[in-house]
Structure 1
Amino acid sequence: MDESERADVAVAAAREGASVAADYFRTDLPVEMKDGKTDVVTRADREAQERVIETIRETFPDVTVVGEEEDAPTVVPDDGPSFVVDPIDGTNNFVRGIPVWCTSVAAVVDGEPVAAATVVPPTGDEYVAADGPTRLNGEPVSVSDRIDPEASTVSPTLWWDLDRRDEYAAAATGVVERFADLRRYGSAQVTFGYVASGALDGSFSNLRGNPWDTVAGAHLVRQAGGRVTDLEGNRWRHDSRGVVASNGEIHDELLAVARETEAARN
């Protein structure tokens, strides 16, 4: 299959999972905690992931599917095809009734994303990219062309646990001292979609993100003409420490903030 066909599978799977999740949104849904007070999960997450995987396996019955919930593999293989799934990215928003969450699916070959789809049911938006430009609701989009950090809006993303709030504070301080404004949405994949479409100028974290939080979004940003690196400024990949995604114009300034955030680790 070529990238456009893989993208079709990713889109179909993301839509199916998003439909399952949307049926539970703003309902009386029991919430469970996984590894911490802010790490929550619901039946909607599990059932949405099941639907995504079922949809993928209709075409790729034996492919590795990396996912957040249950017993799915958690590591992206460096050889061969795979898919990476986040059934609900932004579960904390989801359980609070905040309409910023999505279902994301990325198709990967030899460790590199080749297609991605992020479906955002509350807004009806779909971000899709294969080997051509990123599309938002079927129309090509691109990263912003802002070159002045003081006119740019960026977002710290991923999540610093309660014992790492010095890093969170450093990230916020670095943004407000260098850029026009800060946004934080609570969904990394939605945030990457905003960068890809030019709504945001950049997003960053010093953390090593889970692949389901990052891989699809990184592909969307790159195919929209943006730049995605690790903390060293090297090309980002699924196992990199830190992720810095931007329109390219403000990347060095954003990279400096990410490094300042990392320096606050101790």
Structure 2
Amino acid sequence: MKVIEILEEAAKRVHKNVKHLAGTKESGTDHGVGAGGDISRRIDIVAEKTVLDYLREINFECTVFGEECGMVELSPNPKGFVIMDAIDGSTNAVRGLPFYCCSLAFTPEDRLGSVTDGVVMDLHNGDLYSASKGKGAYMNGKKIQVHKEKPVYFVVGVDISGISSDALPRLAPILAASNHVRHFGAVALELAIFARGLVDVFVDLRRKLRITDIAAGYLIALEAGGYVVDENYMPLDSNLSYDKRISFIAAANKETLAETMRKLGLPNNA
């Protein structure tokens, strides 16, 4: 099997195993603090176990870099890393809000920038987003791309959840200039719908995102023709570390990216 097919099958199994849990009291039971630093919920544990069990079943030679489970070596000679956020949007999943996903990515090296394959499964409705480096982005097998034309409504995604008081004023210009601001609570899925052309800009300057949150969605957004950079107008990259925190700006074209960076008072090399 191709790597992308392995990730897709793992995500489909997660969907099958957790869809009955979302919104239930059982889904939110406390299972201690995970490797990423947040409380692991029952639905997170079931989802991660599903992925790990499947990778073991097919003897996929890799090391799993998981948000809850930490580093799990599945082979003495791994061919790379599976970057796993088995439930992105755990709060939504536990409360029954219909916006949460499974995010899986593969990299042959210990780098975010080396990701070659990514899958984001919308665990509410079963939509499957996927991308392999250099081969485009897809939703349910149909090629997708970011919104290239002038939209009827210019939609800006902005994550301010838990933002620090000193970072919030930086967002004031873009918030004031945007009549249609959205945030749904699962960054991987938000990058997927950005890749699909439903959102024109997405901004997260909180310095809170982990690599597990963004690895798959980042590749899907790039392969759909989007531009995704950090606060210094550089491509996102990092070694696979639980201490690393990321901010980013995603835009559908260079002009929109340049204008967004200008409004945010950030470097603009476009």
**Interval containing the TM-score (normalised by the shorter chain):** 0.7 to 0.9
Q: 1:202 to 1:59 in 2, by over 3 A?
A: farther
**Structure 1 residue ranges, 4+ long, deviating more than 6 angstroms after superposition:** none
Deviations 1:173-228 (A, max 9, x none): 23322334210010001100111000001212221521110010000000101111
Q: How many residues align?
A: 246
Mapping of 1:41-120 within 5 angstroms?
Answer: 41-72=40-71, 81-110=80-109, 111=111, 112-120=114-122
Q: 1:45 to 1:259 in 2, by over 3 A?
A: farther
Q: Which structure: greater helix fraction?
A: 1
- 1:255 and 2:261 matched: yes
Q: 1:170 to 1:141 in 2, by over 3 A?
A: same
Aligned with residue 134 of structure 1, among 132, 137, 148: 137
- 1:23 and 2:20 matched: yes
Runs of at least 5 residues in structure 2 that lack an aligned partner in the other structure: 73-77, 240-244
- Name the SS of the counterpart of 1:242 in structure 2: strand
Query: Shift of residue 104 of structure 1?
Result: 0.9
Deviations 1:41-93 (A, max 9, x none): 311101210111222233454411111113436xxxxx962111111100111
Q: 1:81 to 1:71 in 2, by over 3 A?
A: closer
**2:136·2:224 contact (CA, 8 Å) conserved in 1?**
yes
Mapping of 1:179-190 within 5 angstroms?
Answer: 179-190=178-189
Query: Shift of residue 133 of structure 1?
Result: 1.6
Structure 1 Cα separation of the partners of residues 228 and 150 of structure 2? 16
Q: 1:231 to 1:24 in 2, by over 3 A?
A: same
Q: 1:114 to 1:233 in 2, by over 3 A?
A: same
Q: 1:156 to 1:40 in 2, by over 3 A?
A: farther
- Name the SS of the counterpart of 1:251 in structure 2: helix
Identity %: 21
1:11 aligned residue: 8
Which deviates more from structure 2 when the two are superposed, residues 48-57 or residues 197-206? 48-57
Deviations 1:121-180 (A, max 9, x none): 2122111111312111111110011468x952111237435xx14424643x23322334
Give the TM-score, by structure 2 length.
0.81
Runs of at least 5 residues in structure 1 that lack an aligned partner in the other structure: 74-78, 261-266
